[in-house]
Structure 1
Amino acid sequence: MIFDAVRNNKRVVQVFLALITLPFAFWGIDSYVRDTGAGTDLASVGDSKITMQQFDQAWRVQQDRLRQAMGETFDAAAVNTPEARLSVLNALVDQRLLLLEAAKGRLVAGDNALREVISKIPALQDDGQFSMARYQAALAAQGMSQPQFEAQLRQDLTLQQLVAAIGDTGIVGSAMTDEMLRIQSEERQVSELRFSPEQFAAQVKIDTAAVEKYYQENPKRFEIAEQAKADYVVLSLQALMDKLTVSDAEVSAWYESHKDRYQRAEERRASHILILVDANQDEEKAKAKADGIRRELQEAPGKFAELAKQYSQDPGSAEKGGDLGFFGRGMMVKPFEESVFKLQEGEISGVVRSEFGFHIIKLTATKAGAQRPLAEVRPELEDELKRQTASRQFAEAAEAFSNMVYEQPDSLQPVVEKFDLKMQHSGWLPRDPNPQALATLGQLGNQKVLTALFSADSLKNKRNTEAIEVAPNVLLSARVAAYQAASSRPFAEVKAGIEAALKEQQAAALARQAGEARLAALQAGTESKADWGPVKSVSRLEGQQLPAAALQAIFRANVNNLPAYVGAEVAGGTYALYKIIKVGQPATVDKQRRDALQREYSTILGQEDFAAYLAGLRSRYKIDINKAALDSKER
């Protein structure tokens, strides 16, 4: 914000926070440093408990983050493992350790730091300036109160302070950087000789017996998965909302009874000149300097922006002539705010003391508070009224829907008729689809739905599945309409494919044998005529020039005697030989690359320091993990 209360985050801080603050829903530091005593505890850190509720919230958010990161490849079942759950719990333990240490050291993010961060969130800005109205609307949309959100943010900032203090210790000196850069930038001139499977394809003969043996020994490769078609119905809050209408009278009545919710708060725009006061600056001298600037403004009030650029010590606003933009009440420290809201437009204040130092303030514009007209807020009102009504209807209908699909298990038609739903029909659904296939199944692409659909109750007893929540406020029940058991593709159908695959394998094996034999001869000093490729320079910094396996072999090679020879298996079963002809250093190294390398290694050292710090905390606190509860809890 305005007074530069929070320094810019450093990369190392962001790296550490990503490791220890899976963006969990937070409950505030106070709840972490006391014994919650609610429900079954999954772990304890000293006297502080980690409850099932806290773990469940962390687990849900972690799953959502993976789903967003992995897209169509996300497989909920694949990542729901004991190891994954233990990893999330350990992250919560690390987080708790840091918060306990922060509380012990009385480390906490202050109100000014909160204002700084909140005012810079783009979604809360209007024309580049913080908007209290947007802030309140955003919180309401998330179902959060202002204290809840600010407690969460305060905790994040507290963790940042602690992590930054540790992460800043990762410093790499120039000598070490130069040595690492020398190693990374070393160039080796090489020629390549390839042995590809295609060169040996004519030598490969595959008989029918080998093909049949492969078919018999690898039945899973030729299996047609168990699959079913389903009829299903969906009950959702959104569908109920879409059927509702609200009258003009209802909208007007709601508006009149809730007018206070649709107020635009008064906002003011101000500029200031700040003379800082801190432990290194004399308060009397700072006050005298501010008084001198104020006297200069009395003689030339039009020079405010010019003097702000010359004297103001607020880096966030000085270059803009001291302009702070529009803000409402509650966004500035109290003495500053009180002064601003007493000024008339164009008026310049006296010298105002705040916790930051001395301010001279000019009010440059005002936006009066106003009632938002009904026409402007009508869409919001209609949506809210529909949602309220639909939420009541859904709460009642959900229970009846769940009971009906269970109590009348032989058909979904009763719920179709009772709730005016559409009977929907699927194509063939595999029992265990891969992540890509799962993502194409829409609302049926839910592991719990598929598990229920392929259960004995659904297949043998021909019953409806239970009502399953496939998304917030969305219930689905299905029943099997058609079924095909797992089967194997016949040998005649897959024979040609098996034969081609075996030929490729054997040709690749011959290519490797030939390459290794030539390599052994070269290393023994028997250089035979070969069609080596053109000479090219490679380095670790330019590793994309060659496959990773080739690059590793080249830079592991002993180059005391040149030429040196190495081999590596590269893409498609090809075996490549490399003749290392010359080793050297580039004439110059780009300064940006050197600086980037130094930052990278500083980050690595900082991470090591941080890991050691966490290990130290784990040794100082008594940590108990209830693995039985973690393993037995259904997910």
Structure 2
Amino acid sequence: MAREKKTKLGVWVILGLLFFSLVGFGTTSLSGRTTTLATVGDKEITLNQYALELRRGIDTFSGQIGQPLSFTQAQSLGIDQQVLNDMINMRLFENEATNMGVSIGDQRLRDRVTSNPNFQGFSGTFDREAYRDVLSRMGTRESDYEQSLRDEMAATALQIGLTAGYTVPAGYIDALVTYAAERRDITWVQVTNAALTDAIPAPTEEDLAAYHEGHPADFTTLETKSIVYAALTPDMLLPTIEVDEAALRDLYAQRTADYNSPERRLVERLGFADEASAQAAMDAITAGETDFDQLVEDRGLTLDDVDLGDVDQVQLAEAGAAVFAAASGDVVGPLPSLIGPSLFRINAVLEAESIPFEVAADELRAELGRDRARRVIGDAAEQMADLIAGGARVEDLADQTQMELGSIDWTVASTDGMAAYPEFRQAAAAAPIGAYPELIEMSDGGIFALRVETIQEPALQPLEDVLEDVTAAWTRDTTQAAILAKAEEMATALSNGSQFGEFGLAPTIDVDVTRQTFLDYTPEGYMTRVFETEAGNGFALPYDGGAVLARVDAVNAPNLEDPDVIALRDRFAAQLSNGVAQDAMQITLNTLRGETDINVVREAVNAVHAQIQ
């Protein structure tokens, strides 16, 4: 598919009208000497064209992200480079079209000009005076505009010819469809240590020594930093903060919705096109001919589609009184709703909740106390920073301020105490031995400073120190290896015609699984192995301390008449054809770039950027 040209002169006209008075670009306003920003063979890019297209690119991206984008931000995203690159690519095709003698007839050019709404008068038809006026305001002569438009149309025709008509061999597409849509019927089961006939023997000293030596990473200590710190958190100050009752009652009043909620219902709603359809459905439920779940399924919906969650009576409007008069499990209706006559099922009754001020007071007191403690810490932080700047140690901070002294043997696995704070973990990881303390703020408004006293490098722990862990790990791995060996024996037997029942196993049967199907309680790579295995064969994979045993019962080729498979085939064909066309486009562009003189006047580019900023 041909790539749409981004630097269309019709867009220049629109943007010229919108931005001419703001941007202030005339024929020589940027450089005072030249209007050329770049030449591509015999074609050129003018300063005005680049300026307007760059502005358009920035505005387009701003619209996509929903907020204005500054020029500096646009540059950091490479928008300016992309705009100039796209314009150069278009000029390459325009230049090549001229070299090849590709041309657009006068009538097509006339039709293009006269159909442009920017050149129409009040009557809605082409107006030559409007045409001249617009081009004049853009600083463009009619002959230049028409030649540029002719070049653009010829280049577009060349691009269409280059990318149209590519097809991918049907056999290749069929192979992809077969791969993607092929299905398997499988029978599988988890195998545990219950399948073992012999108990796992106790490990010998030689077994444990060999395991310890063969798995050093499992028994090596983490790097440990002995850290001394001074910290002050809102919770540390909380016992010293006094909060008056008036402030608590004001906050309680502000949070009344949090502490006093009306009676609510967990409700599902199924809408109908008209009252008669809704009543017929309700009559069928009353007669026991169907139920709410079946009605939802018959409509091709799920319970998630009809779930309203927990609602109060006001939210249900006219249906509220009837729904709230019903008991949990009832279906009521038809009742009016925003989606038309509906049936409502009540799944639970949530009683009204009212938490009095006296009960909520402690929680509110802690909240206000922490807020005030954060302000106290913020006010004191400057004094603490001054102490550090004056050479104070961590211990001095604890002596001279409200900060508390503490210590921790920290590793990357530490999460308790001060290590619960991500800011502390980050600082601890980065700090070398004896580094000058730095005051660091935490997410809860607290502050700390730390010093690393010593660093204990990772080391393999002696076997006698980790004997219990080594024994447990050896037993675990040896047991899994035995289970997997047993499962592989069973897989061989299954491949030779045995049945799962002969092993005393109760398997699960899944039919028509695809490569994208995910089955719970199966290991990573399981579905890949399923599709690598021929029908009638079994296999085993390790999983969760045991193994999974499976047999592929059938290989089901895709139904080529299935609408989903047809749609998949069409999608593959379109994607592959488009991919080939885009490859051809890129190869052509690379060739043209190598054969064409491209000169960019960097001073002119910088001048445009300076004006836009």
Q: Does TM-score exceed 0.5, indicating one fold?
A: no
TM-score using structure 1 length: 0.38
